[in-house]
Amino acid sequence: MTDPNGLNVKVAAVLADLSDLITDTAGILNQVDGLRGVDNLTLGDLNANLVAMRTDLADLTGFGLQGLNTIISSIGFIDLETSSTVLQLLNDIRDHIGFPTGDATTTLLGLLQSIANTSLCSCGPQPPNTTDPDSCAEPFVSDAAHSLPSYDGRTFAYWSTAPTDLLIGTSLDPTVGNAELVPEATFDGWTAYVLSRASNICSLDPSETLVFPTNTWIDISTRDMVAFSVPAGADITVYLCNHASEVWTDCVELTSTPGTYSTDVPFSEDAQFIVFSSIPGITTGNTWFADGAEQQVNVANTIVTSNWHGVTITLLSGSTVTIYTVNESGGVSSLPINSVSDSQTISFDTQVVLIHNLAASSPSTSAFQVRICPPS
């Protein structure tokens, strides 16, 4: 019999234990392989992955260097070094721009914005933009201002000669020499822009307490005289435009604008409206009286108060558009245009014209376009 304590028995037991150990080790290796992935089963795979990683890092670093170089070149205050690293370039930017102290206005953009705001404030009021619908290409401009002690030292705009269609007036007592203007007929269609550092305190007549805003266009069509003045010590230059003298000769194409129509009943509805301010030689507004009620659109220049007898309106896009009119006798009528290319010609004298789409199914979002042609 084999001795249980014999050498051959013990060797067999050791071999059996080693076999179990090999089996366990193989299981561990399989688990490790699962973790590290199939790409790295050999040293060659690992080397290839390291090379790819190094290439990606080099590309990323190069991109960062290129981007920082572009920033620095745009700023223009750092001498670039060809051997600079990303960290060195960031340090250069930090050293030259500095750290923000915590206040948002001390960042570079904040400081630039503050400079821009300060510069803008120091410019003072600016002359009117001649492309503004209330302006004109060649406004009449007043001469050097003068101060008159008889009116609490107020400073008046001075006119060496009267603008075309106006006269130098003498109705004020005491007379304001070459500061008073009166129309040969009316001021209908005239607007004025009073350029001054004095805010919202322009007077059109020193005998009145009423004042008007400066540095914006104001309507003087209802005046029978004007004598522009501001408080003593303030500057003043006046720009005048006579829109009634402009001639409308060509058809215009206009796209609607959203707005709200309302009355004092009260009633209101959102819709689309045509703004007429770009048409020369007409008078416009946004309030009128009809059908026993005050009516308005909350967008300026959406009604025409000139006589549009003979004007033709053609629909270019959209649908369910209406030409609302008030005739010379106060009668209200509506001329519908429901299809593209259809048109209506106004065959009677008018005192109000409004183009809208209140009858459309979704008027506030249904924009439309029209062509408007003057009488032939």
Q: Is 188 helix (H, G, I), strand (E, B) or coil?
A: coil
Boundary-marking domain end, from 215, 243, 271: 243
pLDDT band of residue 210 (cuts 50, 70, 90) is: confident
| Distance from C-alpha of 116 to C-alpha of 119, rounded to nearest angstrom | 5
- Tell me whether residue 6 is in a domain: no
Q: What is the spatial distance between Cα 110 and Cα 47, in angstroms, rounded to a whole number? A: 49
Any domain includes 13 = no
pTM over 0.75: no
Rounded average pLDDT over 132-136 = 75
Q: Which residue has better confidence, 210 or 30?
A: 210
Question: Do residues 145 and 205 share a domain?
Answer: yes
Please say which residue of 243, 277, 294 terminates a domain.
Answer: 243
154-206 pLDDT per residue, tens = 899 999 999 989 999 988 877 777 899 999 988 888 899 999 988 778 999 98
Position 84, amino acid: S
With a cut of 60, say whether residue 58 has pLDDT above it: no
Task: Provide the token pair at 124.
Answer: 């003072």
Task: Say if residues 272 and 297 touch (Cβ distance below 8 Å).
Answer: no
Residue 36 within a domain: no
Same-domain pairing of 160 and 87: no
DSSP result, 279-342: STT--EESEEEETTEEEEESSTT-EE-S--TT-EEEEEE-S-EEEEEEETTS-EEEEEE-STT-
**Rounded to the nearest 5 degrees, what angle is found at the Cα of 9, between the Cα atoms of 7 and 14?**
95
Most confident range, picked from 55-59, 77-81, 215-219, 340-344: 340-344
Residue 298 sits in the same domain as residue 220: no
DSSP-assigned letters across all residues of 190-255: EEEEEE-SS-S-BBS-TT----B-SSSEEE-TT-S-B--EE-TT---EEEEEEGGG----S-EEEE
- Does 154 share its domain with 94? no
Does 68 map to a domain? Answer: yes
pLDDT at 156: 92
Do 218 and 182 form a contact (C-beta atoms < 8 A)?
no
Tell me if 23 is assigned to some domain: no
Instruction: For 270-323, write each residue's pLDDT tens digit.
Output: 999 999 988 887 888 899 999 889 999 999 889 999 999 999 999 999 999 999
In a domain, 316, yes or no: yes
Last residue of a domain, one of 243, 265, 282: 243
Distant-in-sequence, close-in-space partners of 22: CB < 8 Å, separation ≥ 6: none
Residue 133 lies in a domain: no
pLDDT tens-digit map of 17-35: 556 656 655 555 555 454 4
Residues 237 and 265 in one domain: no
* Residue 131, pLDDT above cutoff 50: yes
Q: How many CB atoms lie within 10 A of CB 312?
A: 16
Same domain for 221 and 270? no
Per-residue confidence band for 39, with pLDDT thresholds at 50, 70 and 90: low
Higher per-residue confidence, 335 vs 175: 335
Q: What are the pLDDT digits (tens) for 220-275?
A: 988 999 999 999 888 999 999 988 777 888 999 999 999 999 998 888 999 999 99
Q: Structurally, how many domains does the chain consist of?
A: 3
347 and 258 in one domain?
A: yes
Among 317, 366, 311, which Cα is nearest to 337's?
A: 317
Answer yes or no: do 205 and 318 share one domain: no
331 is in which domain, residue-wise?
A: 252-373
Alpha carbon distance 133, 204 (integer Å): 22
171 with 212, same domain: the answer is yes
Looking at residue 201, what is its pLDDT? 85
Residues in the chain, total: 376
Do residues 98 and 149 share a domain? no
Same domain, 78 and 188: no
Predicted confidence (pLDDT) per residue in 64-74, tens digit: 556 666 665 55
More confident position, 106 or 125: 125
Across the chain, what does the average pLDDT equal?
Answer: 80
d(CA 156, CA 235): 9
How sure is the predictor about 1, in pLDDT bands with cuts at 50, 70 and 90? very low
Q: Cα–Cα distance between 220 and 228 in angstroms, integer?
A: 11
My answer on whether 163 and 107 are in the same domain is: no
- pLDDT, residue 36, reads 47
pLDDT-derived band at 366 (thresholds 50, 70, 90) equals very high
Task: Check: CB of residue 251 under 8 Å from CB of residue 273.
Answer: no
Q: Is residue 321 part of a domain?
A: yes
How much of the chain exceeds pLDDT 90, in percent? 41
Residues 324 and 355: beta-carbon distance below 8 Å: yes
